[in-house]
């Protein structure tokens, strides 16, 4: 008998897919693959990655295929479908949850948790503490491993799911228990060792808290990562984010210029150590440290191929290099279309976070030097919603954007970075939509992707170069 948890409702069937060809419809349910019940998406992806498979599908009672069979209303109909396909070919099925299972919430109460620093009254999903290894594999989320059983580790190894992204925070087991407020938080290192020995690629992260896991503790952690090479490909060190909503939470201090310089010096010393011995830099300071310290961003080769862009590691270096490469291509094209006589002058406003403001002003100036008929005003947005200590563009709300831009001459377009929006939606963190902001500010918003060529095109209004 099929367990309830292994019955997975199908919500969508891709047009022209194998599933559609075999008569599977939205509302049907997947019961098994090759005689195996499906626990979650790990099982599904692994078991369907073959050339010959047998699916058991339970037909939705009200589907066209089911009604054509004239069966009694309360009698289910299970189909056994034998399918041949290329091993890499997708069946075309989508399920109610991307995991095909319930999301696992976090068992920790980290002293630096951003979710605990959210104000009341926001959408419910923003208060969910996720710590699910499956999201690490599917979406790149960082996990603490405190939710993972030996069974979970076994499945990662069996299916060779990688990379797995781990929030270490410290390699000191006792300190890790204190920082995560979980007496079992120091027990993860045996699990990491198992993953390493099985050849699973790993990435690491440290959220650095001043006076807690920095200085000597950080030095110790960066040394201890050596034991996980070569499977450990990168470790990012990011400063703790502190909002103004920290009532009844542990007291934490922000980093200043001097302390940011200390962090960079320590990380760069270990980068040199790992490069000399292993040919990789391994540990990386996020861009925020260099901006806070007022230092030049490292050269591109120091980022080991930009493995941690989503953690803000190397984004500014990559953006800067891409903008300059694009401008060099334009100047070297010989067409001079960027400065042709009679072209209508263009004026845009770029909204960004306080931290990246100076960098974008520099890049906008370089673009205007090549495109003299373009004016690009950069307006850093102060984060009144979360507090002025939050300076990144990804945490800017619609209400702060509107309040600080209303009444200004924004020109032809307002440019905002894509990281201001919820994934795949035109909605900001406080649920204000792009269309609402456009209506309020009476201007057209252009959403700019994170690469340099897209920034140059958005500023100049050019479709291509």
What is the mean pLDDT of each successive set of 10 residues along the chain, which is 465 residues long? 68 93 92 89 84 91 56 71 92 75 63 76 52 47 82 87 91 96 93 96 96 98 98 97 86 95 98 98 97 95 94 95 95 60 81 95 96 96 93 92 96 95 86 95 96 96 75
Residue 106, in any domain of the structure: no
Judge residue 88's burial from the number of C-beta atoms within 10 Å of its C-beta, 0-12 exposed, 13-18 middle, 19 or more buried. exposed
The candidate with the shortest Cα–Cα distance to 94, out of 11, 165, 8, is 11
The candidate with the shortest Cα–Cα distance to 4, out of 26, 28, 29, is 29
Beta bridge partners of 353: 381
Q: Determine if residue 244 is left, alpha or beta; phi over 0 gives left, psi from -120 to 50 gives alpha, anything else beta.
A: alpha
Do 321 and 309 lie in a common domain? no
Do 234 and 137 lie in a common domain? yes
Residue 102, in any domain of the structure: no
CB atoms under 10 Å from CB of 63, counted, come to 17
Do 341 and 443 lie in a common domain? yes
Q: Which pLDDT does position 301 carry in this prediction?
A: 97
Do 229 and 339 lie in a common domain? no
- Distance separating alpha carbons of residues 204 and 140, to the nearest angstrom: 11
Residue 283, in any domain of the structure: yes
Do 84 and 152 lie in a common domain? no
Residue 341, in any domain of the structure: yes
Domain containing residue 134: 115-313
Among candidate residues 313, 346, 376, the one where a domain is terminated: 313
Beta-strand relationship, 283-285 and 232-239: parallel
Do 291 and 372 lie in a common domain? no
Do 353 and 455 lie in a common domain? yes
Q: Determine if residue 343 is left, alpha or beta; phi over 0 gives left, psi from -120 to 50 gives alpha, anything else beta.
A: beta
- Distance separating alpha carbons of residues 327 and 347, to the nearest angstrom: 18
DSSP-derived letter for residue 378 is: E
- CATH number reported for the structural domain that contains residue 216 in this entry: 3.80.30
- CATH number reported for the structural domain that contains residue 435 in this entry: 3.40.50
Do 131 and 280 lie in a common domain? yes
Q: Which pLDDT does position 128 carry in this prediction?
A: 45
Helices (H), 299-406: 315-332, 357-370, 398-405
Distances (CA, A) of 343 to 366, 367, 372, 446: 19, 16, 10, 21
Among candidate residues 285, 313, 341, the one where a domain is terminated: 313
Do 216 and 301 lie in a common domain? yes
**Cis omega before residue 145 (within 30°)?**
no
Do 290 and 322 lie in a common domain? no
Do 91 and 122 lie in a common domain? no
Judge residue 389's burial from the number of C-beta atoms within 10 Å of its C-beta, 0-12 exposed, 13-18 middle, 19 or more buried. middle
Residue 100, in any domain of the structure: no
Q: Residue 170, Cα to own-chain centre: how many angstroms?
A: 22
Q: Which pLDDT does position 310 carry in this prediction?
A: 86
3-state secondary structure of 146: coil
Distances (CA, A) of 106 to 140, 146, 185, 188, 206: 16, 8, 12, 15, 17
Tokens of residue 378, six digits:
């950069």
DSSP codes, 245-302: --TTS-------HHHHHHHHHHHHHHHHHHHHHHSS--EEE-HHHHHHHT-PPPPGGG
Q: Which pLDDT does position 184 carry in this prediction?
A: 92
Domain count of the fold of the chain: 3
Do 355 and 307 lie in a common domain? no
- Distance separating alpha carbons of residues 176 and 179, to the nearest angstrom: 5
Among candidate residues 40, 62, 95, the one where a domain is terminated: 95
């Amino acid at each position: 008998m099929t367990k309830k948890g292994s019955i997975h409702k199908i919500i969508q069937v891709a047009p022209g897919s194998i599933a559609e060809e075999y008569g599977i419809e939205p509302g049907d349910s997947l019961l098994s693959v090759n005689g195996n019940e499906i626990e979650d998406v790990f099982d599904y992806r692994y078991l369907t990655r073959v050339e010959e498979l047998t699916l058991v599908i339970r037909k939705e009672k009200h589907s066209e295929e089911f009604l054509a069979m004239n069966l009694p209303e309360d009698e289910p109909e299970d189909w056994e479908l034998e399918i041949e396909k290329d091993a890499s070919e997708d069946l075309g099925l989508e399920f109610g949850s991307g995991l095909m299972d319930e999301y696992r919430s976090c068992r920790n109460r980290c002293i630096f948790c951003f979710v605990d620093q959210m104000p009341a009254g926001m959408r419910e999903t923003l208060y969910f503490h996720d710590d699910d290894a499956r999201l690490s594999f599917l979406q790149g989320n960082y996990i603490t491993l405190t939710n993972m059983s030996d069974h979970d580790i076994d499945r990662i190894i069996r299916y060779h799911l990688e990379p797995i992204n781990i929030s270490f925070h410290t390699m000191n087991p006792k300190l890790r228990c204190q920082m995560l407020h979980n007496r079992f938080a120091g027990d993860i290192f045996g699990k990491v060792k198992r993953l390493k020995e099985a050849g699973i690629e790993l990435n690491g992260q440290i959220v650095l808290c001043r006076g807690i896991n920095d200085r000597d503790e950080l030095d110790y952690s960066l040394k201890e990562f050596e034991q996980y090479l070569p499977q450990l490909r990168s470790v990012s060190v990011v400063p703790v984010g502190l909002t103004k909503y920290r009532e009844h939470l542990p007291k934490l201090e922000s980093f200043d210029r001097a302390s940011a310089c200390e962090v960079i010096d320590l990380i760069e010393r270990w980068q040199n150590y790992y490069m000399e011995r292993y040919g990789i830099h391994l540990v990386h300071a996020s861009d925020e440290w260099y901006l806070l310290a007022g230092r030049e961003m490292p050269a591109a080769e120091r980022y080991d191929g930009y493995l941690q862009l989503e953690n803000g590691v190397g984004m500014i270096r990559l953006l800067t290099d891409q903008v300059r490469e694009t401008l060099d291509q334009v100047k070297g094209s010989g067409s001079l279309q960027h400065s042709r006589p009679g072209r209508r002058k263009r004026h845009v406003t770029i909204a960004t976070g306080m931290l990246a403001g100076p960098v974008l002003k520099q890049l906008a100036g370089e673009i205007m030097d090549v495109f003299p008929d373009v004016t690009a005003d950069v307006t850093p947005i102060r984060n009144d919603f979360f507090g002025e200590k939050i300076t990144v563009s990804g945490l800017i709300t619609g209400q702060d954007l509107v309040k600080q831009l209303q009444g200004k001459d924004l020109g032809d377009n307002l440019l905002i970075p894509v990281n201001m929006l919820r994934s795949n939606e035109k909605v900001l963190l406080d649920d204000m939509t792009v269309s609402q902001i456009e209506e309020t500010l009476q201007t057209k918003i252009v959403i700019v992707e994170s690469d340099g060529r897209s920034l140059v095109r958005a500023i100049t209004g050019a479709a291509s170069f």
